[in-house]
Structure 1
Amino acid sequence: MPESPRPDDACPDDLTALPAAVLFDMDGTLVDTEQLWWQAAAELAEELGHQLTDADAPEVLGQAVEHTAAHLHRASGTDLPEAELAHRLGESFADKVAAETVPRPGALALLTALREAGVPTALVSASPRRVVDLVLSSLGRDWFAVTLAAEDTVRTKPAPDPYLAAAERLGLAPAACLAVEDTPTGVTSAVAAGCAVLAVPSMPVPMPEGDRITLLTSLEQADLALLGKLSAAPVG
């Protein structure tokens, strides 16, 4: 993975190369809900006699409810239907989000800077619409020109469909957009769609590497000049 540019290296001229749009993941990227999702999955897994470990992370982090429910069904060997597990998992997660929605450090500042610069933004989530709407009621709906939830595409992350749909709704080519993600599943989705990606992990998991993937430890390190550099990076 190429060394991440530092905001200190940016110059004002870079602002002329802003991305056509910035497409944000929600859970763990803009709001601190990835931990809540893991907690909901861990609690259900424990009820089923399965202990979540790092080995389960690829099947939980950034994944849709149905995907994680299917994984818990296989891992636990339960006789309960997958649909029931998905329902219980979704209800638990929604309850936790309703009780606690906290913006990630730097998220609101970056959204504000993009709005002031006239750069459109989209919310691209693998969470159900119910959860997306709960977060938007707290975070604010008017930050985004487009919002997509798990139900809005036939396939969700890690397939490219959500990011392709967001770019299409904005009338833009995916390659002109910058995606901001926190999980390997989300990064894989955005890269497959053709977006440049800023990866800001919310949990300590290995990230995919690539010429158009840049890793930061916090959105507090991101500014308009940095986004301009990332969006202008050549495809290769």
Structure 2
Amino acid sequence: MPEPTAVLFDMDGTLIDSEPVWFDTEVRLLAEFDFELGREHWEHVLGQPNEVSCKYLVGVSGIPLTWEQLNVKIEAAMVEQLSQGLEMLPGAKELLVELQVAGVPTALVSASSRQIVDACLGAIGTDFFRHTVSGDDVDRGKPDPQPYLLAAELLGVDPADCVVIEDSPIGIAAGAAAGCRVLAVPHAAVTVPGRPRVTRAASLDGVDLAYLAALS
């Protein structure tokens, strides 16, 4: 296979280990309303757009807030937490550097809001990406392909020539639906359904441009 024309990265759980921070924040906020959010709920909010996850949390907990009110609380707490910085996941920085040196364009494609994306970019490195797409920039979030189709359009490339790197089932589905090759780097507990053009890796450690070019 030829080298990818562009590489499109998810953010939470793919480049930075922020998914546990999201869940811990949700646990803490719901505990203020005397609701214990157990680990069994994680899969229902992992990688989801804010509206989807907050509606789920309000529904399962019965707290006296609208999903919009809960979202405001979660986002404020997350921005404060993220502003303190987060470590990048193994192999992520090395891959971004290699792609930058090789001149392969990249985009960041996240289900998170623009303020969350901007809060994380300082730790990741704004200069690595020619474009960023947040959940606020699309009408239909993941698992719809629109976010990845928009990123490819902004980069001026064919989605079929792109590689998407994702950790969540809905993100993997979005990348596959957009017609991209997908490298799935999921959390250990996440099951990746078999799909054409989807390859699973344990982590980004050791993943380089040659590895991406070899994806089928």
Q: What are the residue-to-residue correspondences of 1:100-115 with 2, within 5 Å?
A: 100-115=85-100
How many equivalent pairs are there?
Answer: 216
Q: TM-score, normalised by structure 1?
A: 0.86
Aligned residues: CA RMSD:
1.5
| Same amino acid, percent of matched pairs | 43
Q: Confirm or deny: 8 A CA contact 2:82 2:119 kept in the other structure.
A: yes
Q: Structure 1 residues 91-100 or 137-146, which shifts more?
A: 91-100
Q: Partners in 1 of 2:148 and 2:164 — Cα distance?
A: 8
Gaps of 5+ in 2: none
- Kindly state the Cα deviation for residue 73 of structure 1 after the two structures are TM-superposed: 0.9
Q: Partners in 1 of 2:25 and 2:188 — Cα distance?
A: 16
Quick one: which amino acid aligns to residue 45 of structure 1?
L
Alignment-derived partner of residue 120 in structure 1: 105
Q: TM-score, normalised by structure 2?
A: 0.94
C-alpha change, 1:190 and 1:49, in structure 2 (3 Å) is: farther
Residue 18 of structure 2 is aligned to residue 33 of structure 1: yes
C-alpha change, 1:53 and 1:175, in structure 2 (3 Å) is: farther
Provide Cα deviations, 1:191-210, integer angstroms capped at 9, x if missing partner. Answer: 11111110112352112221
Q: Structure 1 residues 176-185 or 47-56, which shifts more?
A: 47-56
- Kindly state the Cα deviation for residue 82 of structure 1 after the two structures are TM-superposed: 1.8
Alignment-derived partner of residue 66 in structure 1: 51
1:204 counterpart (180, 189, 198): 189
Q: Confirm or deny: 8 A CA contact 1:69 1:82 kept in the other structure.
A: yes
Quick one: which amino acid aligns to residue 15 of structure 2?
L
Q: Identify the structure with bigger relative contact order (alpha carbons < 8 Å, sequence gap 6+).
A: 1
Q: What are the residue-to-residue correspondences of 1:1-236 with 2, within 5 Å?
A: 17-230=2-215, 233=216
Write 1 or 2 for the structure with the bigger share of helix.
Answer: 1
Q: Partners in 2 of 1:60 and 1:29 — Cα distance?
A: 16
The DSSP-based 3-state class of the residue aligned with 2:214 is helix
